[in-house]
Chains A and B, each alone.
Chain A
Amino acid sequence: QQPVQSPQAVILREGEDAVINCSSSKALYSVHWYRQKHGEAPVFLMILLKGGEQKGHEKISASFNEKKQQSSLYLTASQLSYSGTYFCGTEMADYKLSFGAGTTVTVRA
């Protein structure tokens, strides 16, 4: 049930863009995105509900394709502060989340 994230890692220069994908084989009620800095707890970024909506946080946005059970996280004009590991969490309407293995993002000056 664990969703699959890709890529596993990405290296960016400041100002570049990146896309992180999250896919599930199960029908989803919602997708949650988190960012975790080294040695810290994951921090909630946004939640997307079925219906194909998009949301944004700073210059980070996401989409949810309900038919394909896929979500994508878009990092636009990346900043040094965007470095960290990004996790998607998928919910199948049972109040539990299954998390992907994470995508490590490194932004360099």
Chain B
Amino acid sequence: DAGITQSPRHKVTETGTPVTLRCHQTENHRYMYWYRQDPGHGLRLIHYSYGVKDTDKGEVSDGYSVSRSKTEDFLLTLESATSSQTSVYFCAITQRGLRGSSDTQYFGPGTRLTVL
């Protein structure tokens, strides 16, 4: 499982409240990602990080921010949650070796977020 944990695993919140999801990894991977998964859309990239304090936007970044102050933690914040952000959120890491030889992306267990 590449040592990835996510917290919380389930959360119910109300519209307009801030929410922070945490991804923690124990194997010193450089690249970390946040995805959301919705029926009919597969997995869509929200933000990713290529190092401490180095982050960039994905395809569905509006309404989300991220921070990475330590290699092991990647935080996703919904600044003011909306019902459209109800989803399952997955964190992932890329285990990279020589280019192409061992590029595998491993996913955390997911966080189910419901915004009422």
A18 within 8 A of B: no
Considering only residues 92-112 of chain B, those with a C-beta below 8 Å from chain A are 94, 100, 103-110
Inter-chain contacts of B45 with A (CB < 8 A): 96-98
Q: Is B22 an interface residue, CB under 8 A from the partner? A: no
Give the bracket for the number of chain A residues in contact with chain B.
Answer: 20 to 34
Write the chain B residue with the least CB distance to A101. B42
Instruction: Report whether A96 and B48 are in contact in the complex, using a CB–CB cutoff of 8 Å.
Output: yes
Q: Roughly how many angstroms separate A102 CA and B59 CA in the complex, as a whole number?
A: 18
Identify which of A42-50, A57-65, A69-77 touches chain B. A42-50
Are B41 and A101 in contact, CB atoms less than 8 angstroms apart?
yes
Interface of B is mostly: strand
Select which of A2, A40, A89, A102 is within 8 A of B105 by beta carbon.
A89
Contact between B105 and A99, CB atoms less than 8 A apart? no
Contact of A95 among B31, B104, B109 (CB under 8 A): B31
CA distance A1 to B41 in the complex (A): 13
Taking a contact as CB atoms under 8 Å apart, the answer to whether A42 and B43 are in contact is yes
Complex Cα distance A89/B92, Å?
13
Q: How far is the CA of A67 from the CA of B24 in the complex (A)?
A: 39
- B105:A32 contact, CB within 8 angstroms: yes
Residues of A within 8 A of B64 (CB): none
Pick the contact of A41: B33, B100, B109 (CB < 8 A).
B109
**What are 26 of the A-B contact pairs (CB < 8 Å)?**
A1-B59, A2-B42, A30-B100, A30-B103, A32-B105, A40-B109, A41-B107, A41-B109, A41-B110, A42-B43, A43-B107, A44-B105, A47-B100, A47-B103, A49-B100, A89-B105, A95-B50, A95-B94, A96-B33, A96-B45, A97-B45, A99-B35, A99-B42, A99-B43, A99-B44, A101-B40
Q: Contact residues of A with B, CB < 8 Å?
A: 1-2, 30, 32, 40-44, 47, 49, 87, 89, 95-102
